[in-house]
Structure 1
Amino acid sequence: MNAGTRRAVIATAAVSMALSLAACGQAGDEESGGKGSTTKIGLLLPENTTSRYEALDKPQFEQAVKAACPRCEVVYNNAVGDVVKQKQQFDQLVAAGVKVIALDPVDAGKAAGWVEGAKAQRVKIVAYDRAIAGADAYVSHDNSMVGELQGEALLSALGRKASTARIVMINGAEKDPNAGLFKKGAHISLDGMVGKIAYEASGEWDPKIAGEKMAAAVAKLGKKRIDAVYSANDGMAGGIVTALENAGIKGIPVGGQDAELAGVQRIIAGTQTFTIYKSPLELAPKAAEFAVDLLKDLPIRPQTHTDGVPSILLDPVVVDRSNIRTTVVKDGIYTAAELCTADLASECAELGIK
């Protein structure tokens, strides 16, 4: 999505929600903090280890809400991976009278119970990126497709070696429903197409843990018996690449997800093979659209339903060295100056990133 298209998306969202502005103004007249906080929309994100949440999702969500409802305010908190902290943040929003919360849960199973309790107080929930049973709406990317694309990209990188390749899989946190979908999708692509999934474990979305699991895989299999590594996201891929380098393993395909700055820079450098780009320029505005419509009791416009929840599932995109310039750079996610540090200048020139 280029800058012009992005502006059009946000403009379209603003037009589609124009009917809510009068109501928004009325709510603003009532607002005095506390129980009158009817123009406040909560945004609760799960952790800050994955850099996209703070760097991309939060500002894009805030911008889209402001475009659709100028008098609306986003109340933001990050749980830093702590489900107890996130529950406290959620309860504080409910107690303050916030009537719509966009929630990306640390633990979706536990969050379902919070949602059920909040509904008794007429609080509406937009499940952000991770599905929550009983939510009023859900916005994410097609997470099974994410896993399938990861597996396909790994097969493509292996080429003719795929049929005999030994793969290490480092999956996401088991309490995250998206991690299960990524894993399932990856297995759909890889099972029967590679020689063997030789080692598989959860890296808990933590680069340090992922690096430790990678080191354990090397110790178990031997450094000459690993042909490629599936990493469920870019953060863990960073720990995995470090573990591979420490073991003297170079040149094998390593995948990731989220198109984090460090992940894209590793792709430029050649230490990571690909990532999956899930544009916050699409995700956050759609979630904001749902949130404002729910706030004003307007009908939402889902694309589909996920376990009965009205949903929009966006398409992910594989990013490798061939299309960095036409994806994350073209969309304005990163500038060439941000990506092309001094030590990557020659690689960026080779790829035409300027």
Structure 2
Amino acid sequence: MLTIRKNLKFFVCAISVFTNLFFCSIAVAAEKIGIAFPTQNQERWYKEGFHLSNLLKKEGYDVELYFGGDNDADLQVRQVGRMINSGCKVLIISAIDGDSFSEVLKEAKKKHIPVISYDHLIMNTDAAEYYVTFDNYAVGLAQGHFIEKKLNLQNTSENKYIELFTGSLDDNNTNFFWKGAMSVLNPYIQNGTLIVKSGEKSIDKCATQGWDREIAMKRMESLINSQGYLPGGSKGSRIDAVLSPNDSIGNGIIRAFENAGFTEKNIPVITGQDGELEAVKNIHKGLLGMTIFKDANILCDRVIRMTNQLIKHQDVEINDIETYNNGKILEKTFMCEVTVVDKSNYKKVFVDSGLIDEKNLD
């Protein structure tokens, strides 16, 4: 009888300990955060997606990370729906198509799930209140000023020749990049200093669907052939600059020029953005004029801070509520600063900081 009582007491204690451990584990269960990024096929998004996910995990969150295939907007919408249904407490979305989320995010709003637009603005919904980005107008402005300086447009009496590229029309950032760059370049186009031989000067004509480098390369090859651009060409066959909004498009443009026989000695001034390894290599080789470095650490750190504030129901720190109207609301925005990188400082920004091993530039 004594043995039975001892065993019964032990069994009851074991049940009690197990129950306490079970309920304690529920009490400290990690909140789930959902991340939806455009594609794993571009260096920036692949690296940034896993970087942000790892930082959130270090903060103690459970993380669901999805990439939208090869910039598949419909797939991304389905992924967001999946995260809403799986119990995510905050959604971080870098939209492929900013206009595609109005329906799916109604469910997020119904469930009181805050949504942060990550660098690509989600349009036409009041469910995505928060936006973390870089100053996108300033990006275009910097690209325009770089071309202005390199071609000495303020002081030259000589005609200069340029072709214009911009990003994907389903990405709201494209509008800001274009407006910033053209605020500098358009006065020179209007007064005849800058000549666009192709006549393709509207945002619609210059857009690159999906920011696709192959599309950019093919368009540039077509322009080279149709306009008769030649390496080291004289007036009429010379091209002095190409406005490119990012590195992926810029790298496609460079390939088109290389295929046409251009080298670092006669390739036009080409702009970029994102600080991708291939772009930094091309700056090192003299093929790309500049890139805009949008430090992922700065952007991700700000998103982490915003996520923590949302989870803890604290006031969310922002620095802009006037610039970005998504068609329904003015976004509560935090704008981060960007860095212009060219031949003069690429080693300091990327090599000296340890971001890139100098051996990888050759």
Deviations 1:5-62 (A, max 9, x none): xxxxxxxxxxxxxxxxxxxxx9972588xxxxx611111111234311112x223323
Query: 1:244 is matched by which residue type in structure 2?
Result: F
Query: 2:130 is matched by which residue type in structure 1?
Result: A
Shift of 1:163: 6.0
Secondary structure, aligned partner of 2:269: coil
2:49 pairs with 1:58: yes
Shift of 1:311: 0.9
Shift of 1:254: 1.1
Deviations 1:67-91 (A, max 9, x none): 4x32x12210110300111011101
The answer (yes or no) to whether the contact 2:294–2:339 under 8 Å persists in 1 is yes
User: Counterpart of 2:72?
Assistant: 82
Shift of 1:277: 0.6
Listed as ranges, the matches of 1:140-159 within 5 Å are 140-159=133-152
User: Counterpart of 1:73?
Assistant: 62
User: Counterpart of 2:346?
Assistant: 324
Instruction: Tell me, in whole angstroms, the C-alpha distance in 2 between the residues paired with 1:231 and 1:162.
Output: 25
Shift of 1:232: 1.2
Instruction: Tell me, in whole angstroms, the C-alpha distance in 1 between the residues paired with 2:359 and 2:315.
Output: 42
Deviations 1:70-113 (A, max 9, x none): 2x122101103001110111011011011211000011111244
Shift of 1:166: 1.6
2:253 pairs with 1:240: yes
TM-score w.r.t. length of structure 1: 0.81
Instruction: Tell me, in whole angstroms, the C-alpha distance in 2 between the residues paired with 1:162 and 1:87.
Output: 52
Shift of 1:218: 1.4
Gaps of 5+ in 1: 1-25, 33-37, 345-354
User: Counterpart of 2:26?
Assistant: 29
Instruction: Tell me, in whole angstroms, the C-alpha distance in 2 between the residues paired with 1:117 and 1:187.
Output: 39
Listed as ranges, the matches of 1:195-206 within 5 Å are 195-199=194-198, 200=200, 201-204=206-209, 205-206=211-212
User: Counterpart of 1:304?
Assistant: 320
Instruction: Tell me, in whole angstroms, the C-alpha distance in 1 between the residues paired with 2:86 and 2:261.
Output: 54
Q: Counting helix residues as a fraction of each chain, which structure ranks higher?
A: 1
Query: 2:79 is matched by which residue type in structure 1?
Result: Q
Listed as ranges, the matches of 1:1-354 within 5 Å are 29-30=26-27, 39-55=31-47, 57-67=48-58, 69-70=59-60, 72-80=61-69, 81-133=71-123, 134=126, 135-159=128-152, 164-193=159-188, 194-199=193-198, 200=200, 201-204=206-209, 205-223=211-229, 224-249=237-262, 250-305=266-321, 306-307=324-325, 308-338=330-360, 340=361, 344=362
Instruction: Tell me, in whole angstroms, the C-alpha distance in 2 between the residues paired with 1:27 and 1:210.
Output: 55
Deviations 1:134-177 (A, max 9, x none): 31311000001100101111222222569621211111111110
Q: Which one has more relative contact order, counting CA pairs under 8 Å at least 6 apart?
A: 1
Shift of 1:245: 1.6
* Residue correspondences, number: 307
TM-score w.r.t. length of structure 2: 0.79
Instruction: Tell me, in whole angstroms, the C-alpha distance in 2 between the residues paired with 1:328 and 1:261.
Output: 9
- Aligned-residue Cα RMSD (Å) equals 2.1
Shift of 1:202: 1.8
The answer (yes or no) to whether the contact 1:202–1:210 under 8 Å persists in 2 is no
Query: 2:245 is matched by which residue type in structure 1?
Result: A
The answer (yes or no) to whether the contact 2:121–2:171 under 8 Å persists in 1 is no
